Amino acid sequence: MPELPEVETVANTLRPLIQNAIITNVWTSNLRMRSQLSEIDKQLLLGKKIYGVSRTGKYLILELFEWYLLIHFGMSGRLIVAKNLQEKEYITKSLNHIHMYLNFSNKFVLLHDPRRFGGVRMISRINIKTPADLSALLNLGLEPLSDRFCANRLFKMTRGVTRNIKIFLMDGKQIAGVGNIYATEALFRAGIIPTIACFKLSISKCSQLVACLKTVLSNAISKGGSSLRDFSGLEGERGSFVDEHLIYGKKESCVICNTELVKKTIGQRATTFCPRCQR
Ligand SMILES: [Zn+2]
C-alpha cells in the first residue's frame, strides 16, 4: 500500500507534468471503487485548469480553482502517465484495471487499481482554502513531517492509551500517512518494541520516535519511496528506499546485533523486530 513518501513522490513527479494544464476529457470505468466520479463531477471537471498538485496524508490532491480532486490509492492503486493517444491505447489494452483517466490535450493520467480499494472524489473549495485544511474534513491525524508533530505532542497524545505503539502509528486518525513499512522502520531505528503500550513511552522515547519517523519519511521521499509489490512511479520507475530498509521485509538476523529477528502479527499486519535492540 502506498504510504506518505510514495504519495509525495507521485505528487512531486506529477506536478511539472500537469500544473497549469487544462482537463479536456474525463473517463471512468463502470466498476465500483471505494469512491468514483459521478457524471456531474466529470462535466464539472471539463475545461478546468490544474493550479497545483499536493498531498495530505495518503491522498493526492489536484487543486482546481473551485474544487479539490482527491485520489486515494487504497491497497494497490497507482497513476500512469501516457504521453500521447497511442500510449494511452496501448496501456488500456495491456492493463485490465484502468478505472479512471484524465486527458490534458495530448497527455493522459490513468488510474490503475487492480484491487479497487482506492477512490476518487471531489471536494468544494468554498470553505477549504488550502490543502492543509482538508485534513480535518478527511478526519486525518497530524502530518508527521509538520512542526506540530513533536515529542511533547506525541507524549501528550499517548497518555492513557493502552494499545500498542505500532497500531497507534498506523492509525491515520492519529498520525497521517504512516503504514506498515515506515512504522516498522521508525520503531527499529528508535529502539522501541512495537508491542509496547503507548502510555509506557517516556518523553525521551517519544523524542527518539518522532526524530526517527521524520528521518525515515524524509529519506524515503528523497529516494522516491519504497517499491515493493504495489508501488512504482508514473513511468513504472522504482523507488529506491527499499534498499535502505533495515528491518521491514527482512528475515535474517538484526543488522546491529545479529540476534535472530522476531516476526509477529500485530493488528493483522506482519511486524518484524529485534528482541534485543527494541525494548
Ligand atoms: Zn538487534
CATH number for 201: 1.10.8.50
Note whether 54 and 63 are within 8 A (CB): yes
Domain boundary among 137, 166, 199: 137
Residue 144 forms part of a structural domain: no
Ligand 1 centroid to Cα of residue 213, in Å, is 18
Task: Give the three cell numbers for residue 247.
Answer: 528491518
Last residue of a domain, one of 115, 137, 159: 137
CA–centroid distance, 155 to ligand 1, in Å, is: 25
Here the cell at position 233 is 512511479
Host domain of residue 155: 151-273
Residue 182: strand, helix, or coil: helix
163 and 259 fall within a common domain: yes
- Region 75-94: mean pLDDT is 93
Q: Which of 267, 215, 234, 183 is closest to 73 using CA atoms?
A: 234
Q: What is the DSSP string of 196-219?
A: SBGGG--HHHHHHHHHHHHHHHHH
Cα 134 to middle of ligand 1, angstroms: 40
| pLDDT at residue 229 tops 70 | no
Q: Is the pLDDT of residue 162 over 90?
A: yes
Cell of 105: 490535450
| Residue 161 in domain | yes
Cβ of 123: how many Cβ atoms within 10 Å? 16
| Residue range 180-224, pLDDT digits in tens | 999 999 999 999 999 999 999 999 999 999 999 999 999 999 999
Integer distance in angstroms from the first to the last C-alpha of the chain?
Answer: 27
Contacts of 155 (CB under 8 A, 6+ apart): 201, 203, 206
pLDDT band of residue 230 (cuts 50, 70, 90) is low
Residues 197, 247: Cα–Cα separation, whole Å: 21
Q: What is the pLDDT of residue 76?
A: 87
Is 81 found in the same domain as 14?
yes
Alpha carbons 111 and 9: distance in angstroms, whole number: 16
Give a yes or no: residue 53 inside a domain: yes
Same domain, 8 and 119: yes
Which residues in 74-194 belong to E strands, given as ranges? 78-82, 98-104, 107-112, 119-124
- Residues 126-154 pLDDT 10s: 989 888 889 999 999 999 999 999 999 99
30: domain CATH number is: 3.20.190.10
Cα of 190 vs centre of ligand 1, distance in Å, is: 12
pLDDT at 228: 67
d(CA 211, CA 255): 20
pTM of the model: 0.94
pLDDT value of residue 145: 97
Domain boundary among 83, 105, 137: 137
- Looking at the annotation, which residues are catalytic? 2-3, 58, 269
Cα 147 to its chain centre, rounded Å, is 19
State the average pLDDT over residues 248-277: 95
**Residue 160 belongs to some domain of the structure:** yes
- What one-character DSSP code corresponds to residue 242? G
54 shares a domain with 97: yes
| CA angle centred on 155, ends 151 and 159, rounded to 5° | 175
Query: Sign of the C-alpha dihedral, residues 254, 7, 268, 152?
Result: positive
pLDDT-wise least confident of 104-113, 123-132, 223-232 = 223-232
Predicted pLDDT of residue 236 = 78
Domain count for the chain, please give it: 2
The pLDDT score that the predictor gives to residue 233 is: 77
pLDDT exceeds 90 at position 123: yes
Q: What is the 3-state secondary structure (H, E, C) of 49-91?
A: ECCEEEEECCEEEEECCCEEEEEECCCCCEEEEECCHHHHHHH
Confidence of residue 91 (pLDDT cuts 50, 70, 90): very high
Q: How many CB atoms lie within 10 A of CB 119?
A: 22
- Indicate the pLDDT class of residue 1, thresholds 50, 70 and 90: confident
In the block, cell 487504497 appears at: 74
Mean pLDDT calculated for residue range 62-81: 95
CA 227–ligand 1 middle distance (angstroms): 25
- Ion ligand 1 neighbours (CB, 5 A) are 254, 256-257, 259, 274, 276-277
The answer to whether residues 190 and 266 belong to one domain is yes
Percent of the chain with pLDDT over 90: 87
Residue 243 CA to ligand 1 centre (angstroms): 19
- What are the pLDDT digits (tens) for 42-53? 999 999 999 999
